[in-house]
Every structure is written in structure tokens, then in C-alpha cells.
Chains A and B, each alone.
Chain A
Amino acid sequence: MKPVNQKAWWLILPVVLCVAFSAVLPLMTVVNYSVQDIISPERRVFVGTEWFAAVLRDPDLHAALLRQVIYSVCVLLVEVPLGIALALSMPAKGWRSSLVLVTVAMSLLIPWNVVGTIWQIFGRTDIGLLGATLVKMGVDYNYAGHAGDAWATVLLMDVWHWTPLVALLCFAGLRAIPDAYYQAARIDGASKLAVFRFIQLPKLRDVLMIAVLLRFMDSFMIYTEPFVLTGGGPGNATTFLSQYLTQKAVGQFDLGPAAAFSLIYFLLILLLCFVLYQWMQRVGHEQGQDPMPDGANG
């Protein structure tokens, strides 16, 4: 058991100060705004929970929320299996391993607006490879005009951009499995499917939990890439929550409702992450997962 030591607070003080400065002060500002009607910088009226109620009743918000949920679910459904499959195919050793690793990780290091720009160009039917190819094949493709095409392109872009995160985490998790497991499985006559089901998947659960949580969080907060690619359009077909919030706060300068929305947004993610985390823990325990899966403990 770890020893108790209150002096440890000195060690975490820098972190607390940094994050508090960066987060708590602004958050307090947000809370402050969310309960006031700011008609002008001098005239502020306390309105209590009125903004919260208004925001929660806003049909545009409901629409954006629905779009966001569908988006995040689609993202998870595609990226998690794809990432696992990719991790299983990546070579473990040698020069090939380094080359594949760098190629796969590349998309993670591209600034998000460049990602949006690349796909914006890529999807154009006049100068983009994807757009032009689809048109040549006879598909009526136009991501700026058709909502369905916009959705498909945005999703494809996200998959292209973020699957490597899942893949990298799983790849590392797979490397942590000692060779002895695979050797024993060979001697036991296990099939490849059995190896995946009984050795690899259980050992990946920890890493997958992090991957799923991170991807869910980040996809729920996504802003830059869809904004650059479609601008939220056509219409507001691809306007997700972050963009909706930014429109309200920056575009309309309606600080009160925007602040209320911010808080709701944050609490929503918190709640969903918490639920997701608990669910994954329970599933892990039902499968009899060893809480400390490292080789030395056996």
C-alpha cells in the first residue's frame, strides 16, 4: 500500500496552479455569465437558471446534439474495430515495423486545419482525386451540396485522421504480451481465432478503454476539421455541438446563453464519459480480467 504523506501536496501544487489558472478562472467566468443577462457591459441582470432552461429547450441545440451523438457513435463503431485490425496487421519488429509505424502515425501529426484542407481539396470534383474519381465512376458526389455526401466525407476524414490513435495504443498493448503466451498457444493447438479471443483481446482491454474514452471525448468536442471541410454545411447538416456553441458565443455575442450552453456541454461529456467508463469496467470484470495484468505478478 502506498504510504500516506500530506507533504505530497507540494509536488502537485505547480500542476494545480497551472490548471486552475487555465481552467478554474475561465470556468468561473463562464458560470458567472451563465446566470446573467448581459445587455451591455454595464448593465447586467441576474437571471438565475433562465438561460439553462432556454438552452435546454432550444430545438436547434437538440438537432445539433442529435447530429453529434450520431457522429460520435459512427466514429467509435468504425474506428475501434479498424484500429484493432490495423494493430494486428502491423509488423512487430525490424525496419518494416519502423516504416509502417511512421506512415500510420503521420496523420495524427497533421494540424487539424490542414487535415480539413487536405480533404476539402481531395473531395472536390474538379481538382481532387476522390471527387474526380467518384464522378468518373458515375456517382453523383458533391460534399458541398448534398448532406449525405458531406456526412460521408466528414466521417471518412475522421476515420483517416484518428484511427491511428486507436491502432497505436493497441499496437503497444499487443507488444506487451510475452512471447510465451503465443508459444504456449501453439503447443496447445489453438487456432488463430482462439489466440485472438483468449490471449490478445483480454490483454487489450485496458488499452482499449483508454482508446475508446479518448476517441469518444475528442469526437464529441470536434470542431476544426468539419469546420474547415464543410463549414457546417450544407445548411447545418454537419454542424456539431462545438461549432454550434462557437456560433452562438462568438457569432451572436450572446454571452449568457452561450455560457450556459458551455456548462451543459461540459457536464454532458463528463456524464457520458463516466457512464462509459463504468460500463467498460463492469464488462471487464465479468470476463474475469486480472486487474493487474503484468507478467511479473503472474
Chain B
Amino acid sequence: MAERRFHARTIFLVAYLLFAIIPVYWMINMSLRTNQEIVSAFSFFPRAVTLEHYRTIFTDESWYSGYINSLIYVALNTVISLFVALPAAYAFSRYRFIGDKHVFFWLLTNRMTPPAVFLLPFFQLYSTLGLMDTHIAVAMAHLVFNVPLAVWILEGFMSGIPREIDETAYIDGYTFPRFFGTVFLPLIKSGVGVAAFFCFMFSWVELLMARTLTSVNAKPIVAVMTRTVSASGMDWGVLAAAGVVTLVPGAIVIWFVRHYIAKGFAMGRV
């Protein structure tokens, strides 16, 4: 039980953490230097710290609207995913019914489908519906992979709750909605936290569908950044700053669900 300061594990862990952080640090480094400095001098620390890139992002509408758009459709998607996945996960966890195994497997296959497969059909579908370049279109497109994942995760957690709790509640006179909301949900809240985290994550980072389905109004930040890349004079500084700012919501989300991740997984079948 003694603390081993120079044990192989600690060295390995520190080495990995450095490996994890250095590329991110490099990006932060670049975001704080002027474009000239970036291209001309190579140094570990900025010679002259500048916040001009961040200012650009927060004032230039084409940049910050990208963030807002992303946040909107990610939030929409997470809410819808959880909303439909919760009752479905309950059904899979508690009951047997015709086609239950097949439907569950079919759901998982949607997670395995390359997004590239859906590209053209989605393009046509949402054009036909007149939903191109809207937040709801991207939110709905992302349901393809998030809903199955949410159902998969939530079903695992729900199966960990003994059925006696349901039965006791019904005997006590609870209706199903009331039971679900006041008794069941609090018991699986770490599962909901984990599922929400993954829905947020996979939707926030997805590029292909988000770029294909949007042009101006709902253009997400991921697409704004690629636009910069394809331009001839690379605006490295602003790009790096944009990258840094995209980290922030993610970091906040992890910080809030950190306990759920470690503890929550353990309770579910996952």
C-alpha cells in the first residue's frame, strides 16, 4: 500500500499525459502569436503574446455564429436522442416482445453505418423537405448514430435496476409516467449523464453531415474552420484560436460528468 513515486506506472502515466497535452499546447501557443511570428520564427513560447485572434473570433460574426449554430443543433440532438431513447431502453430492458432482438440489432447497425453512405440521400431528403441549412436538419441527421448509442447505454443501466422497484411502485399506485419521472430516472441518472455525454460528444465533433446539410444560416463551427483551411493565405492564428475555443464546451462537459463517467459505467452492463 506504499506510495511508489518512481514506479513504472507513474512514469508511463506522466509520459502519456505529456503526449496528450503537447499537441493541444502547441495549438494554444499558436493562437497567442501573430501570423507573422508563427510563420517566421519557431519557438516554444510566444515571443509577444497577442489576443487579436481571439478578438476576431468573438467579434467577427461569421466566426462566433459558427459556435452558436453548433451548440444549437448539438443541444437539440442530445435532447431528442435522450427523449426517444429513454422509453425504448426501458422497453428493451423490461419486456420481451415480437422482434425485440431484431430491432435492437437493427438499431446498432445504424451506428455502424459509414456516414458517407448517407451523404447523398440526406442531401436529397432534406432538400425535398425544404430543411436544408437549418439546425433541426443536422440535429435529425445525427439521430442516426446517437439514438442507437443512447439506447445501448441506457438499456445497460436500466437492466442494473431490479424489477422489484418497478413492481413496488405500481402496487403503491404510481402511474407509469409518474413512476418513470420520480422514481426511476433518479436511480439511473448517472446512466443518463453518460448517455448525454456521448450524444453531445459525437454530435459536436461530426463534420461530414454537418457540412453537407448547411451553407450559411446553420453553418457549424467545424465547417467555418475548414473554409479557412481551403483559403490560400492560411490564417493560422485565427484557426488555432478557433480550435482552442472549440475545446471549451467539451472541457466543461467532461468536468461536469467526470464522476458519472467513472462511477456510472461501473453500474451499467457497459
Q: Check A-B contact in the complex, CB < 8 A.
A: yes
Contacts of B250 in A (CB 8 A): 106, 108-110
Q: Is the C-beta of A249 less than 8 angstroms from some C-beta in chain B?
A: yes
Q: Interface stretch among B46-54, B56-64, B181-189, B205-213?
A: B205-213
Are A246 and B119 in touch, CB under 8 angstroms? yes
What distance in Å separates the Cβ of B7 from its nearest Cβ neighbour in chain A? 9
Contacts of B143 in A (CB 8 A): 18-19, 22
Question: How many A-B pairs fall under 8 Å by CB?
Answer: 276
Q: Is the C-beta of A15 less than 8 angstroms from some C-beta in chain B?
A: yes
- Chain B 206-249 per-residue mask, 1 if CB under 8 angstroms from chain A, else 0: 11100000000000011001100100000010011011001101
**In the complex, what distance in Å separates the CA atom of A122 from the CA atom of B25?**
10
Contacts of B258 in A (CB 8 A): 98, 101-102
Q: Take A15-B107, A19-B110, A109-B201 as given contacts and tell me if A88 and B90 are in contact as well, using a CB distance cutoff of 8 Å.
A: no
Q: Take A11-B90, A117-B225 as given contacts and tell me if A104 and B140 are in contact as well, using a CB distance cutoff of 8 Å.
A: no
What is the interface residue range for chain A against chain B? 35 or more
- Chain B 125-148 per-residue mask, 1 if CB under 8 angstroms from chain A, else 0: 100000000000000110110011
Are A109 and B229 in touch, CB under 8 angstroms? no
Are B151 and A15 in touch, CB under 8 angstroms? yes
Closest residue of B by beta carbon distance from A259: B120
Contacts of A29 in B (CB 8 A): 120-121, 124-125
Contacts of B30 in A (CB 8 A): 121, 127
Residue tally, chain B, CB below 8 Å to A: 94
**In the complex, what distance in Å separates the CA atom of A126 from the CA atom of B43?**
11
What distance in Å separates the Cβ of A97 from its nearest Cβ neighbour in chain B? 7
Q: Take A5-B97, A98-B258 as given contacts and tell me if A111 and B20 are in contact as well, using a CB distance cutoff of 8 Å.
A: no
Contacts of A258 in B (CB 8 A): 120
A-B contact pairs, 19 of them (CB 8 A): A2-B96, A4-B95, A6-B98, A14-B83, A19-B144, A22-B141, A23-B118, A104-B17, A111-B205, A112-B206, A114-B246, A119-B23, A121-B27, A121-B240, A169-B265, A175-B262, A176-B266, A249-B120, A270-B112
**Extra inter-chain contacts (15) besides given A106-B20, A207-B265, A223-B208, CB under 8 Å:** A15-B84, A18-B80, A22-B118, A27-B121, A29-B121, A29-B124, A89-B16, A106-B24, A117-B225, A117-B243, A118-B27, A127-B30, A129-B26, A242-B116, A262-B114
Chain B interface residues toward A at CB < 8 A: 9-10, 12-13, 16-17, 19-24, 26-27, 30, 38-39, 42, 44, 80, 83-85, 87-88, 90-92, 94-98, 100, 103, 107, 109-122, 124-125, 140-141, 143-144, 147-148, 151, 160, 201, 204-208, 221-222, 225-226, 229, 236, 239-240, 242-243, 246-247, 249-251, 253-255, 258, 261-267, 269-270
